[in-house]
Amino acid sequence: MTIKNIAIVVCAFSFIACSCGKTTQNTQSVVAYEKISPDFSGDSAYAFVDKQVAFGPRVPNTAQHIACGDYLVAELKRFGAEVTEQKMVVTAYNGTKLNARNIIGSYGMDKKNRVLLFAHWDTRPYSDHDADPANHKKPLLGANDGGSGVGVLLEVARVLQTKSPEIGVDIIFFDAEDYGVPVFSEMYGGSTDHTWCLGSRYWAENPHIPGYKAKFGILLDMVGADGAKFYKEYYSKRYASNIVEKVWSTAGQLDHGAYFIGEDGGGVTDDHVPVNEVLRIPSIDIIDYNPKTDSGFFHAWHTQKDDMSNISKETLIAVGQTVLEVIYKEK
C-alpha cells in the first residue's frame, strides 16, 4: 500500500466512525501506538504475588522469610537469570540484628548499557496503621506492600527469557525495607528516615559488582492495588525527572494514563533514595502514594488487610507492560 492509499483508508475509517454517530472514539485510535515489547501476563504476575503471600509474612529472622527468599532465587534461576545473593546483617531501629539478603538476577551480563529494576521483598513486622490497636504488633501479609513489586518483576524476568532486549537488565529484590520505626515506638515522630530501606542502603554502599553502573533505575512499590494511582514522586523528579517523563509518557502511549497521573505527588523515603544518593544511579519510584489522602498510601497500608483481595491483574498489567516497553525501547 502506498502512503496515499493508507491516508485514504484512514480518512474513510474516520468518516465511517463519525458518520455513524455512536462512537466517541476519535481518529487517534486509528493510528494507535504499537507496542514493541512482548505481552506481560496479569495472570502470571498475580500468581507470583499469591505464591509469596502463601508463605505468610516475610519478616527477617523468620522461617517464612528464608523459605520465600529461597523461592525467589529459584524462580529467577528458572527464568534464566544469573543470580547473586548478597547476605548481610543489618541493625534495626530497636537494635535487633536482622539476617537479611538482597537477591539479584541479571540478564545480558556482557552488556555495558544496563537498566536496574527493583522492589523490596520483605514484609513489615507491624500492622501499626491497623484500625484495631490489638493488631499493631502483628506482622502483615504484604500482598501489595512487598508482594506486588516482586510479582511484577518475576513476570518481567519470565518475559526477558523469551526475548532479549538490546540493553542488559538487573533485577534486585531488596530486603529489610519495611522495618522502620513503628507508630507505637517512642522514636516515632523524630527523624527516622534512616531506619527504613536497610537492604538497599547496604547494597548502595556495597554493590554486588564493585563500580556497578546502570543508565537508570525503576523501583516498584505497592503497584498491585485495585484502582492504584501513581503520582510523580518528589525524589524521582529531583534525581531522575527525565526517567519520570519517559515512563509516564510510555504508560500514556499504552493507554494506562488512568494509573499514571500527570501530577506531582509527595516525597517517599524508599529504596530509590539510597540508590540515587549513595550510588548516584538516577532512579524513580512508581508508588501508589497520594499526598492528598489520609496516610497517603493505599487504604490497607500497614494493616492486617493488605491481602490478595486488594490485588488487581489490571493494575499489575498497567505497571508491568509499561516497564517492559521502556526496557525494550532502550538501547
- Quick check: 185 binds ligand AHN (CB under 6 A)? no
Q: Work out how close the CB of 297 gets to ligand AHN at its nearest, in angstroms, rounded to a whole number.
A: 7
Residue 270 interacts with ligand AHN (CB under 6 A): yes or no? yes
Residues in CB range of 271: below 8 A, 6 or more apart: 118, 119, 120, 174, 177, 197, 199, 200, 219, 221, 285
Site string for Zn ion, 174-203 (x = CB under 5 A): ----x-------------------------
Q: Which of 221, 288, 306, 325 binds ligand AHN (CB under 6 A)?
A: 221
Which lies closer to Zn ion via its Cβ, residue 124 or residue 158?
124
Instruction: Decide if residue 145 touches ligand AHN (CB under 6 A).
Output: yes
Asked if 233 touches ligand AHN (CB under 6 A), the answer is: no
Rounded distance, CA 236 to CA 115, Å?
15
Does 145 bind Zn ion (CB under 5 A)? Our answer is yes
State the CB neighbour count (10 A cutoff) for residue 11. Answer: 12
Give the C-alpha distances (Å, rounded to integers) separating 261 from 179, 228, 272, 287, 300. 29, 10, 20, 11, 21
Total residues in contact with ligand AHN, by rule CB under 6 A: 8
Least gap, CB of 145 to Zn ion (angstroms): 4
Measured CA to CA, the distance from residue 101 to residue 95 in angstroms comes to 18
Q: Does 288 participate in binding ligand AHN (rule CB under 6 A)?
A: no
Write out the H or E segment, with its range, that includes residue 122.
none
Q: How many CB atoms lie within 10 A of CB 92?
A: 18
178 sits near ligand AHN (criterion: CB under 6 A): yes
The grid coordinates of residue 271 equal 529504596
Q: Name the site residues for ligand AHN (rule: CB under 6 A).
A: 145, 178, 180, 196, 221, 268-270
